[in-house]
């Protein structure tokens, strides 16, 4: 039976087929990309760090905000104290684009996370070509060999990797490749259900020495405090911030500033 994740990946493959350029052209873009910024250092700063997301829509909630100027929103995130900015580039379910990412890259100095469903080597290289400093790899979407290959390639290209897990089996796979930044997503990408106990269950299982990121469903200061108590280093937040009206107020509320 097809899952939501299967459907998203099918669309990603179709969109990728339309925009692919030759290996030589892609390599030329990589050679001209800006020097990678250190996303690991940004997320390893003392206290709780926030990855603030430019996010128009989601498969679970539909349209969230009419973001006409993603670069302006990213600048407001940067000014408000975000450590990293995430930009959705998946087109169908999240209404993002590579153009959004490139617009943000041209206007902010923070490390950028390319948020997409990376399922091919081409996309892994494409992330660096558009100026990504941090790349998302979702364990549930990849075989173990793909996960390791794309992880290693990302580092070879100068990027760091946020390896996303949902359960203990996926965490074991992330640890097998020695993932340095591990994200626990409370939302099941196959059903879109959110598990309110996911962070309490999974974050303590990530060994010391790995950066721990909590993803999805974070809207309250009390939730952020609980994540910090569980050893979390960072939170990834999109919906709460884009619906807040004033991103600075949203970030200040979540971080208790």
- Which residue numbers are catalytic? 53, 55, 115, 164, 185, 215-216
The conformation of residue 51, written as its DSSP 8-state character, comes to: E
**Rounded to 5 degrees, what angle do the CA atoms 116, 118, 193 make?**
55
C-alpha–C-alpha distance, residues 216 and 115, integer Å: 13
Number of Cβ atoms within 10 Å of the Cβ of 15:
16
Secondary structure E strands in the chain: 49-54, 57-58, 62-63, 84-88, 112-115, 134-138, 160-165, 181-185, 211-215, 234-237
Q: Which residues contact 175 (CB under 8 A, 6 or more apart)?
A: 182, 207, 210
β-strands 49-54, 181-185 pairing: unpaired
């Amino acid at each position: 039976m097809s899952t939501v994740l299967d459907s998203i990946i099918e669309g990603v493959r179709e969109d990728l087929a339309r925009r692919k350029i030759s290996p030589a052209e892609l390599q030329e873009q990589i050679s001209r990309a800006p020097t990678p910024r250190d996303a690991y250092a940004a997320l390893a700063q003392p206290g709780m760090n926030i990855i603030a997301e430019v996010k128009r829509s989601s498969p679970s909630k539909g349209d969230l905000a009419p973001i006409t100027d993603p670069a302006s929103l990213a600048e407001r995130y940067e000014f408000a104290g975000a450590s990293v900015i995430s930009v959705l580039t998946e087109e169908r379910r999240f209404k993002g684009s590579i153009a959004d990412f490139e617009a943000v890259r041209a206007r902010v100095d923070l490390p950028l996370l390319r948020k997409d469903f990376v399922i091919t080597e081409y996309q892994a290289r494409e992330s660096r070509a558009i100026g990504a400093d941090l790349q998302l790899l979702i364990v549930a979407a990849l075989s173990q060999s793909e996960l390791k290959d794309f992880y290693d390639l990302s580092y070879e290209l100068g990027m760091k990797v946020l390896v996303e897990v949902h359960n203990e089996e996926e965490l074991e796979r992330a640890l097998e490749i020695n993932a340095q930044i591990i994200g626990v997503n409370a939302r099941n990408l196959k059903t879109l259900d959110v598990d309110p106990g996911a962070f309490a269950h999974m974050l303590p299982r990530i060994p010391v020495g790995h950066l721990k990121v909590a993803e999805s469903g974070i809207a309250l200061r009390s939730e952020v405090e609980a994540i910090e108590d569980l050893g979390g280093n960072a939170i990834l937040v999109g919906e709460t911030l884009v619906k807040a009206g004033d991103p600075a107020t949203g970030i200040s509320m979540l971080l208790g500033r």
